[in-house]
Structure 1
Amino acid sequence: MAKVIAQQTFDDVVRENMEEFGMDADEAIDDAVQQFESQGVNLSNIVQDSRLFSGQGDAAEHPVVSAIKNLKISLDSEESTTAEITDCIVMIRAECDVDLSRRCLAGNNQAYPALIQALEKFLTDDKMLQKALLTLLSLTNGQPDLLDDHGCSLLMEMLDSFKDNEDILYLTVGLIRNTCTKHEENRQMFVKKKLISKLSDVLNRHKGSEKVVIETCGALRVLTLDDDIRVPFGQAHENAKSIVTEGNALETILNLCKDYSDNPGVLKELFSTLAKLVVRSEFCKAVMDMGGLDFILRALQSCVKDKGVVRQALGLIKALAGNDEVKIEAVKISAFEIILVAMIKHQANSGVAELSCATIATLVLRNPAHCITVINLAGHQSIIQAMKIHPKEGGVQKQACNALRNLVARTREYCEPILELGAEALINEALKNHTSCEDDAKAALRDLGCNVELKIRWKGENGSLVHD
């Protein structure tokens, strides 16, 4: 992990360059950047603005720091006007919107507690409340660590207090989403305060609002992620299960899918959310039993021109196919035909190619009858074509190798028609160029009957698993 430094440390080096070596501000900053980067320091959190240094090397106070100080003074003073507070909040937001370094500078100078104070001060003033929420959204973008228990409780209270206010609710949910991204502790803190049931209520209460539905789906998805590298084991699976069981999310989202069947922008968000929730076999079957599988395939067919819907629908079908009953039903209702049409339509898109291959691989796994269907539809040709079109995309190569392997693992009679298309050379090329698909490529070569060097990593000889 790259090292980081404080803004003050960087500023001190810039001043030293200017005072001792006679550099101008731009030269001093460039030299400081080179020094720190050569030491492996990540400077993404450091403001590098020559306007902040005078000719003598003195660092001027950054506008965002001044705005925070003025905001604190204004909030604590009974004589301050709303206009003065607004100016400070708007200035902080403008600076935070520039880049991460400004946001880090603001966060390190107490912007978060000041803005929380502003939220509490203007709970009965919608316009000011929106301004404060928007600024907090900017500030916490990439900085979820700023959240504390008091702020978490305040946001949960606002979900109740403003449950009928679409605009405030939208911003509040967005702020919750920001502070849960890549932060397992925050996610658990919100979940303990019953966030899941409240988000479910938001979806049901505001199902007619596109922006609220999209933002709420995003917040639910964040709870199912395991993206905090500081935590060895998160609660992603448990959260997904709770969203389904406590929030009745599968039925709610499927109903929303039908409501927004003509709106690709919302539909892809709903599909993406469903894919994160079907973490158990019974959940996959429940979606099918509620008519969800048929709807998803029909939506994929009708929205085949929209890459966003296609990608999310493919990912959802792959997730649902984790259940063998769903897998069989999907093929019965023409899943392969629909998937291959989408695959050919967007053959130049690596994301669609990768997901198509992955979905086909899942649907044919341990099912010879499904392999026959794919071969009869010339699906193997589309897989080979994807490998040819996207030779530099490791994900496409990996999933294509996996699909080819699954097609012949139990139906060796299909090795020859696949090899006739040049599969062996393509797989060997993938093996040479992409370390990520080594295992899949070797498995495909092995099951296709090709020459392949398989490493025996340990034979149990010349050593023991048990140390004396």
Structure 2
Amino acid sequence: MATRRITQETFDAVQFESQGTEYSCTADYKNIMSSSNWLIALTLLCFLQVLELLRTSVATKTPVEDNLRSFSEQCSLGFAQRHLAAQKDAYPTILSCCQAALEDQNALSSALPALSALTDGQPDLLDAQGQDFLLNALNTHQDDPMVSGLVVRVVRHCCLKNDQNRQDLVKAGLLSVLTRAITQHKTHPDVVKEASAALRVMTFDDDVRVPFGHAHDHAKMIVLEHSGLKVIIDAAKAHPQNTSVLSELCATLSRLAVRNEFCQDIVDLGGLNFMMSLLADSLECQELVKQVLSALRAIAGNDDVKDAIVNAGGVDLIVLAMNRHMANAHVCEQVCATLSVLALRKPNNCKVIMENGGAQAVLQAMKTHPGEAGVQVTISLVLHNCHKLRMIILGIITVLNPVKVFQRNI
């Protein structure tokens, strides 16, 4: 079927009369209309109209709430819209709207979603003025959970894959603001999720432009200077039934267990007992199971914590989780990774793994996910760290002659 193109005559006839605005055929519009997809072209043109109307409202000091809402909706359609807005210098306009609304809670609630939408996937847009605004907004409206959550979401967008923004905001005191937000609004799930996710982003090393990031330093600062472990664990205990909040908090906790003593601190704060109960009560929730396993794997880097997990019945629950979600490659990968850490340098733990059906579960995962590299690699780690299990699986492989990659890995 031939590709349809909108003609210049058709475009010239579209005057957007419903908005009382008329557009001439500028070079920008000609470039857009050269697209082979006329529907995408019209969508981008409508987005440019919204941006122009917003600029007009700002210039004439007329209400901007409706135009900001339309801008946010258009940005949510896809990255093409957000990228086009950035190319057309939408950031200064949106930031000025946010700055003007700083003292007005209602106006700020309309402006912040637009800034959040624009910076999603475009963290480089944030400048020094934007950083100052974000911190001022968090401090000015620290008692408002809705505004706090909206600002923290912008912070998270601006810190993903941008190490410089992370460093600048951390130096300006962001970590203290985020941990305070979690503590102050502990009963508000949206704020807890956003602030926890933002803390986790501060521990990322995902900016390829930076040879040496500050992920480890930021994680230590969160724990040592801002009591991050206690803040996260206390928040988790406040939402025992909210699986989405608990998943976020467990994911963040796993990013903070970067030192041997931090792993033990999590146990001492009751984090291990909480995670054991959480795993036992939430075996049906795949995402939560995956994040709890990730946290257990992280704290098991401490040899004493390995024993604590095993003594608390962790191996039985971990194997049960894999049997329950055997069809899910991500869960199987996390289970095998956790078992491999528990078995490392711990012969007694290997024995417990064997006694709790570890060999059968690992073999079943091997057969269920032959094409999943992550599962295959983590299973090979389990076999490498657990001698008895390796001997059993090797014997079965010799008889059944399954995937050759495992004969190499073993």
TM-score, normalised by the number of residues in structure 2: 0.88
1:296 to 275, 292, 299: 275
**Structure 1: 5+ residue stretches without partners:** 1-22, 29-45, 54-58, 432-440, 446-468
CA spacing shift, 1:314–1:173, aligned 2, 3 Å: same
CA contact (8 A) 1:401 1:427 kept: no
1:426 shift after superposition? 6.5
TM-score, normalised by the number of residues in structure 1: 0.77
CA spacing shift, 1:144–1:424, aligned 2, 3 Å: farther
Q: CA-to-partner distance for each residue in 1:407-444, whole Å, 9 max, x for gaps?
A: 11xx5xx554323332786775335xxxxxxxxx64x4
| Mapped partners of 1:272, 1:186: distance in 2 | 22
CA contact (8 A) 1:314 1:359 kept: yes
Q: CA-to-partner distance for each residue in 1:350-403, whole Å, 9 max, x for gaps?
A: 111000010000000111111111112221110010010111111011101110
**Corresponding residue of 1:193:** 172
Q: CA-to-partner distance for each residue in 1:140-195, whole Å, 9 max, x for gaps?
A: 11111110010011110111000011111110000000111111111111111110
Counterpart code for 2:38: S
CA spacing shift, 1:368–1:24, aligned 2, 3 Å: closer
Identity of aligned residues (%): 35
Say whether 1:99 aligns with 2:99.
Answer: no
Q: Secondary structure of the equivalent of 2:183?
A: helix
Q: CA-to-partner distance for each residue in 1:202-259, whole Å, 9 max, x for gaps?
A: 1111001010000100100110111111112111111111111111011111112222
CA contact (8 A) 1:68 1:110 kept: no
**Corresponding residue of 2:155:** 176
CA spacing shift, 1:416–1:51, aligned 2, 3 Å: closer
CA spacing shift, 1:24–1:395, aligned 2, 3 Å: closer
CA spacing shift, 1:116–1:415, aligned 2, 3 Å: closer
Counterpart code for 2:5: A
1:76 to 55, 59, 62: 59
Moved more, 255-264 or 136-145: 255-264
RMSD: 2.4
Say whether 1:50 aligns with 2:30.
Answer: no
| Mapped partners of 1:242, 1:405: distance in 2 | 35
1:355 to 316, 331, 334: 334
Q: Secondary structure of the equivalent of 1:422?
A: helix
**Corresponding residue of 1:389:** 368
Q: CA-to-partner distance for each residue in 1:31-70, whole Å, 9 max, x for gaps?
A: xxxxxxxxxxxxxxx97652687xxxxx998333333333
| Mapped partners of 2:282, 2:66: distance in 1 | 45
User: Runs of 4+ in structure 1 displaced over 6 angstroms?
Assistant: 423-427
CA spacing shift, 1:160–1:231, aligned 2, 3 Å: same
Say whether 1:211 aligns with 2:202.
Answer: no
Moved more, 378-387 or 126-135: 126-135
| Mapped partners of 1:51, 1:397: distance in 2 | 44
**Structure 2: 5+ residue stretches without partners:** 9-33
| Mapped partners of 1:48, 1:122: distance in 2 | 40
Say whether 1:274 aligns with 2:253.
Answer: yes
